[in-house]
Structure 1
Amino acid sequence: MKLEGVIKNVSYSFSANLISLLISIFMVVVVPKLLSVNDYGLWQLFLFYYSYLGFLHFGWEDGIYLRYAGKQFNELNCKIFAGQFYSIIILQFILATAISIFGQTFVVDADKRISLICAIWLAPFVNFNSLCNFIMQITNRIKEYARLLVTERVIFFLGVVFFLVILGWNQFRYMYMAQVFAVVSMTIVGVYLCRRLLVPHFDSLDAIRQEAYENINVGSKLMLANIASMLIIGIVRYGISIGWDVATFGKVSLTLGVSNFLMIFINSVSVVFFPIVKRMDEGDRSKVYIIIRNALTFLLFVGLIGYYPARYILSLWLPKYADSLKYMAVLFPVCVFESKVTLLINTYLKSMRKEFLMLKINAGSVVFSLFITTFTVGIWHNLSAAVFSIVLVYAFRCVLAEYHVTKLLGLNLRKNIIEDLLMCSIFIVTSWVFKNFLCMVVYGIAYTVFVLVHRHSIQQIVGMVKK
């Protein structure tokens, strides 16, 4: 692809993520102000279930994405894709029915049952939209893909504003209605964009089954890696959801959402960063890794200072959540560890074709998450310990992943890893112990010392930027 085309695709992706970030800020800052604590907790629990709907195709769509990447839209076989589209939709309705029956029968808590059933009946629409998005990506129709994402977010945003702000209907049911309207609208747009592939002319049943088998066989491996990555935090959040009420779950989710604002941009940048590393000479990878790591570390650590004014402002704006905002001190460092894994470590591992190693790292982190959640929730039943375990799990995965990638690159960064853990510990302890801006002063001093110790690294970074 020409450079001009690459720049345009990046700009589309970046613009879509920017709009998504602005809407996410509104959802985190304004919506909790309008909803009751219990309704906001219901909404967060719904979003938690909703985030896992994409796995109900069992890697089917991931296989299509991997097998047909690079094709032109007109090259896609209509009969093959029609069979896959309609088969996936039928599967989603069957699963939605089965899980609804399960929820009605076995989920005792009414709030949790409502959240589960509301989420599961969006699965047919969500996974149809997901397949349309994949097709836009693999056929290089990035502009249409970005428009799909932006359209969904904007329609949802307008729905929330209409129901909550204009009409004043501040309940979970109206948030859900806005989500349904956005998802169904996206489905209509998807039908239009993929209409050529939806004409009901099919191959034989055996051909459809064979195509589905090949797609699932290929895609399930990628899906397992993605599931493992999500379960690292998902297990802890689920433990909190069953160990405490919906309102408490919503409060913890709010603080986690505030802490993860920057991850939207980190994810979009990582997509652009991957081909750069892929084309890099193997001899330069180690040197560049150190420079980028140091630059990222300095930026992320200085970004932690934003916690202090953010907590103060949010405590004034959302007084009913003031008791839970203390957990921001624990969850802010999540961005440090997750940013390094997403932007740097995983990018290097993928460029070196170490996908199976990524899966093993994520699987090991899932086991650790399961162990620590069982202890903090099931045995100890301590909410603060459960929240602390979130950052502990992320730190564990980051350290484990960086150990492997530096081993592959022939680097020894144990000292740097220990320094990172020490800086995050200082931030968490001072923010948790001190209730005023004294914690900001103490952390500021620690950061200044850290910068002075690594002033040579800063000179290297500045030199690279000037080049």
Structure 2
Amino acid sequence: MNIKRFIQNFSYTLIANLLSVVISTVLILIVPKFISVENYGYWQLYIFYSSFISYMSLGLTDGAYLRYGGYEYKNLHKPVFVSQYWFLVIFNVVVNFSIAFVYGMNSTDPNKSIVVLLTCLTGILVVPRSLLTFMLQSTNRIKEYSIITILERIVYFGLVILFLLFGINKFEYLILADILGKVSSVIYACVVSKDLVFGKFESIKNLIREIGINISVGSKLLIANFASLLIIGIVRFSIENNWSVETFGKVSLTLSISNMLMLFINAVGLILFPALRRTAEDKLPDIYRLMRTIIMVPLIGILIFYYPAKVLLSSWLPQYAESFIYMALLFPMCIFESKTLMLINTYLKTLRKEKMLLIINLTTVVLSFGLAYINVFLLNDLNLSVFSITLLLAFRSIIAEIYLSKVLHIKVKRDIVLEVSMTLVFIIVSWYFEIRIALIVYFIAYILYLVLKKSDITYFIKNARNILNSQK
């Protein structure tokens, strides 16, 4: 691992993701203040649907990402990627417009029809673009990838603020701002990787062979990622189906707040994968232990910010005040999901354990179906439905890390017990106690956690430089 290159790439992703966090934070705080709860619900429904439509790649982009991770960009055989890019464009035009047409013919809610149509338009933009961004990531062109992210978010943010300033507060215009942001990022992506978009096409025979290999390799990862999305998606679909779009919007707001931290955490995973692919396998356990300490110790402490956040948000958005209690149930999900996204998934992909990743995610999806059916349709309990999101993500993270620890021959059970214990303490005191008492109790618990983690923190301080320098 080239430390100078790693730090340089991290600085690019840091800027891009800090910007994304700032923009997301501002939009989360500003937009609900100026639009109705119903319009906010439809806007969140679009964001929710868009997270699914981006998987219309058949696994092709995921396969290319896995196969070419660690390559130099100049060594890529460009005609293969030009052909695959335009294959994805044509495929997504046909599939997405078919979905929009069929849904529009059968829908009784015109607002949802608009949401679905604009979601399908988004799919046509983001799926072919994902081939370009994945190849930029896998070949370590992190700077260009970061600019694509920055450009999309700035255009999106600027247009949303502009619309709100002029009193345009319908959800359709918020979605239009997002689409225009994606259009600008697609144009830039095509410019910086133009030799993957414009140029000589591969022969039909070789193209079919390459697509087949990529889909074969990437389908497991695609399904695993799709299953990962379904873990929360099934619960959210059930909430949207059983309660109103306003309730869906309120729950989505608390989810968005809880997810903000993961935008930054996921940045490290983006640069860690190509770096780990170039790292000797015998060094991976030491790096894992090091990165785990870097991530988990601060994350456990960050939960403290829930208490002032709840007070400030309830004052700023009183129409959503009743929904902020759910943050006590959802905030801890960042502990498990961040570790899964940044460390566990990255390592499983590096070690080419996509099949196990798929099995773990599918198992959690089955559990999600079961809990959604019980909590939503049998008990009709929104509190349990929301809590099940954190429960499912914790289950997935624990099972995956126990498996990974056996592969790497490291011990993590003590750390898992500590993290689950801290999560339970946070949820119990935040749900049942007055906010000042809850803050004091959790702060004391965190001090005890740091004492118990003293040896790991000391190991990190003493060995971080040696471990990283050995990767040069």
Name the TM-score, length of structure 2 as normaliser: 0.89
Deviations along 1:177-222, one digit per CA (max 9) or x if unpaired, are: 2112212222333343444454576455555444433332232222
1:142 aligns to what? 142
Q: Where does the alignment leave 5 or more consecutive residues of structure 1 unmatched? A: none
The farther-off stretch of 387-396 and 83-92 is 83-92
2:339 aligns to what? 340
1:418 aligns to what? 417
User: For residue 248 of structure 1, what is the amino acid of its counterpart?
Assistant: T
Deviations along 1:421-451, one digit per CA (max 9) or x if unpaired, are: 2221111111111243111122223223333
Q: How far did 1:118 drift?
A: 1.6
2:380 is equivalent to residue 381 of structure 1: yes
State the alpha-carbon separation in 1 of the partners of residues 428 and 230 from structure 2. Answer: 27
State the alpha-carbon separation in 1 of the partners of residues 299 and 338 from structure 2. Answer: 8
Change (3 A) 1:139 1:424: closer
Asked whether the equivalents of residues 277 and 347 of structure 1 are also in contact (C-alpha less than 8 Å), the reply is no
Change (3 A) 1:6 1:286: closer
What's the secondary structure of 1:57's corresponding residue?
coil
Q: How far did 1:3 drift?
A: 5.1
What's the secondary structure of 1:56's corresponding residue?
coil
Q: How far did 1:19 drift?
A: 1.3
2:94 aligns to what? 94
Q: Where do 1:303-342 residues align within 5 Å?
A: 303-342=302-341
2:385 is equivalent to residue 398 of structure 1: no
2:73 aligns to what? 72
User: For residue 22 of structure 1, what is the amino acid of its counterpart?
Assistant: V
State the alpha-carbon separation in 2 of the partners of residues 66 and 262 from structure 1. Answer: 26
State the alpha-carbon separation in 1 of the partners of residues 34 and 303 from structure 2. Answer: 28
State the alpha-carbon separation in 2 of the partners of residues 20 and 318 from structure 1. Answer: 22
State the alpha-carbon separation in 2 of the partners of residues 214 and 450 from structure 1. Answer: 47
User: For residue 21 of structure 2, what is the amino acid of its counterpart?
Assistant: L
2:235 aligns to what? 236
Q: Where do 1:41-120 residues align within 5 Å?
A: 41-69=41-69, 70-73=71-74, 76-78=77-79, 80-120=80-120
Q: How far did 1:324 drift?
A: 0.2
Change (3 A) 1:191 1:248: same
State the alpha-carbon separation in 2 of the partners of residues 412 and 5 from structure 1. Answer: 30
Q: How far did 1:144 drift?
A: 2.3
Q: How far did 1:81 drift?
A: 3.7
Asked whether the equivalents of residues 235 and 372 of structure 2 are also in contact (C-alpha less than 8 Å), the reply is yes
Asked whether the equivalents of residues 142 and 271 of structure 2 are also in contact (C-alpha less than 8 Å), the reply is no
The farther-off stretch of 372-381 and 246-255 is 372-381
2:354 aligns to what? 355
2:11 is equivalent to residue 11 of structure 1: yes
Q: How far did 1:50 drift?
A: 0.7
Change (3 A) 1:71 1:457: closer
Deviations along 1:107-161, one digit per CA (max 9) or x if unpaired, are: 4444433322220122211223222323433554433222222111111111111
2:148 is equivalent to residue 160 of structure 1: no
Q: How far did 1:311 drift?
A: 0.4
State the alpha-carbon separation in 1 of the partners of residues 158 and 232 from structure 2. Answer: 30
State the alpha-carbon separation in 1 of the partners of residues 160 and 48 from structure 2. Answer: 18
Seq. identity, %: 39
Change (3 A) 1:73 1:242: farther
State the alpha-carbon separation in 2 of the partners of residues 138 and 344 from structure 1. Answer: 17
Q: How far did 1:286 drift?
A: 5.2
2:423 is equivalent to residue 431 of structure 1: no
Q: How far did 1:321 drift?
A: 0.6
User: For residue 73 of structure 2, what is the amino acid of its counterpart?
Assistant: Q
Q: How far did 1:390 drift?
A: 0.4
Q: Where does the alignment leave 5 or more consecutive residues of structure 2 unmatched? A: 467-472
2:171 aligns to what? 172
The farther-off stretch of 317-326 and 453-462 is 453-462
User: For residue 328 of structure 2, what is the amino acid of its counterpart?
Assistant: A
State the alpha-carbon separation in 2 of the partners of residues 82 and 294 from structure 1. Answer: 42
Asked whether the equivalents of residues 140 and 271 of structure 2 are also in contact (C-alpha less than 8 Å), the reply is no
Change (3 A) 1:77 1:422: closer
Q: How many residues are paired up?
A: 464
State the alpha-carbon separation in 2 of the partners of residues 75 and 440 from structure 1. Answer: 53
Change (3 A) 1:286 1:52: same
User: For residue 186 of structure 1, what is the amino acid of its counterpart?
Assistant: S
Q: How far did 1:413 drift?
A: 4.2
2:450 aligns to what? 451
The farther-off stretch of 298-307 and 112-121 is 112-121
Deviations along 1:262-299, one digit per CA (max 9) or x if unpaired, are: 212211123444536973673x7656655654554432
2:265 aligns to what? 266
2:299 is equivalent to residue 300 of structure 1: yes
What's the secondary structure of 2:235's corresponding residue?
helix
Deviations along 1:67-104, one digit per CA (max 9) or x if unpaired, are: 455253585343x4443232221111111121112212
Q: How far did 1:335 drift?
A: 0.9
What's the secondary structure of 1:322's corresponding residue?
helix
What's the secondary structure of 1:55's corresponding residue?
coil
Q: How far did 1:334 drift?
A: 0.3
Q: How far did 1:466 drift?
A: 8.4
Asked whether the equivalents of residues 137 and 270 of structure 2 are also in contact (C-alpha less than 8 Å), the reply is no
Asked whether the equivalents of residues 65 and 135 of structure 2 are also in contact (C-alpha less than 8 Å), the reply is yes
User: For residue 89 of structure 1, what is the amino acid of its counterpart?
Assistant: V
Q: How far did 1:323 drift?
A: 0.5
Change (3 A) 1:132 1:399: closer
User: For residue 246 of structure 1, what is the amino acid of its counterpart?
Assistant: V
Name the TM-score, length of structure 1 as normaliser: 0.90
Change (3 A) 1:413 1:71: closer
2:229 is equivalent to residue 249 of structure 1: no
1:37 aligns to what? 37
2:470 aligns to what? none
2:124 aligns to what? 124
Q: How far did 1:358 drift?
A: 1.8
User: For residue 436 of structure 2, what is the amino acid of its counterpart?
Assistant: F
